[in-house]
Amino acid sequence: MREIFKHITDEVLWDAYRKADEKAFAELFQRHYRSLLHYGLKFTPDQQQAEDCIQELMIRLWTKRYVVNATESVRYYLLKSYRHILFRKLRQDRIYSEKTEENDYAEEDISVEDCMIRTESVELLQHKVRSLLSILTPRQREILYLRFYQNLTPPEIAVLLNINAQSVCNIIHRAFSKIREGAPKTSYNSFISTVFGILFFFF
C-alpha cells in the first residue's frame, strides 16, 4: 500500500489529508513517527508518554483536518505541534520547568551525533562526537539537532523556540566555536575536519 505514496511529497499528502484522505494522513505519520518519537525522548525518558503525545497530536490534527492551514514544511509543522503538546504535558506532570529566554533548558540531553557519524569506526566516532558535544549547552545542542538532524531553517527554529532567527544563527556560531576550541590540536584535527565538513554540507 505504501508503494503508491513513494514519490508523493509530504506537502501533497498534507493537502490530501486536509480533504479528509485517511490513507494520506496515515502515510504522513508513518513517515514522521520515528522522528517525532526521537525528538520527544530528548525531553522525557518515558517512551509511553512520548508516544501518547504523538497519538494526541494525530487525534487533534484529524479532528481539525478541515480548518488546518496549508504548510510549506510538514516536518516543521509536526515538530512544532508535537513540542507544544509534549511540553504542556511535562509541565502538568511537574517534570519540565521552563526557564527564562536567557537560560538554557533543564536536564535536556540533545545530541546531533546521528548527523555527524559515518559508517566507519562508528563506536569510536560516537565517543569522540559525544565528548565534543558535551561542552555545549543544552540549548546549543537542541538547536544543532533541529538544524542538522531535522533540517529546519533558522527562522523555523526561531519560531519553534520562541527566539529570533539572528539568535539562532548566533547560537550555532558559538557552538561551532566551542567545538573548535574544545578539540585537541593533535589527535582530533582530522576528525574535526570530517565533522565540520558534514555539518557545513547541510548548512
pTM listed for this prediction: 0.64
**Domains, the chain, ranges and CATH?**
2-92 (1.10.1740.10), 113-202 (1.10.10.10)
Cell numbers found for residue 180? 573548535
**DSSP state at residue 131:** H
Model pLDDT, residue 91: 86
DSSP 76-120: HHHHHHHHHHHHHHHHHTTS-----TTSPPSS-----HHHH--ST
Are 202 and 155 in contact by the 8 Å Cβ rule? The answer is no
Dmax (CA) of the chain: 59
Are 13 and 24 in contact by the 8 Å Cβ rule? The answer is yes
Model pLDDT, residue 62: 95
Instruction: Determine the Cα–Cα distance for residues 130 and 111; give it in Å rounded to an integer.
Output: 8
Model pLDDT, residue 107: 40
Cβ-proximal residues to 93 (8 Å cutoff; 6+ apart), any chain: 49
Low-confidence ranges of the chain (pLDDT < 70): 1-3, 95-133, 182-203
Encode pLDDT of 49-98 as tens digits.
Answer: 999 999 999 999 999 999 999 998 999 999 999 999 999 998 888 754 44
Are 198 and 115 in contact by the 8 Å Cβ rule? The answer is yes
Model pLDDT, residue 149: 80
Instruction: Determine the Cα–Cα distance for residues 114 and 117; give it in Å rounded to an integer.
Output: 6
Backbone angles phi, psi at 127, to 5 degrees: -65, -45
Model pLDDT, residue 119: 39
Q: E strand or H helix at 54, and its extent?
A: helix 47-63
Model pLDDT, residue 190: 55
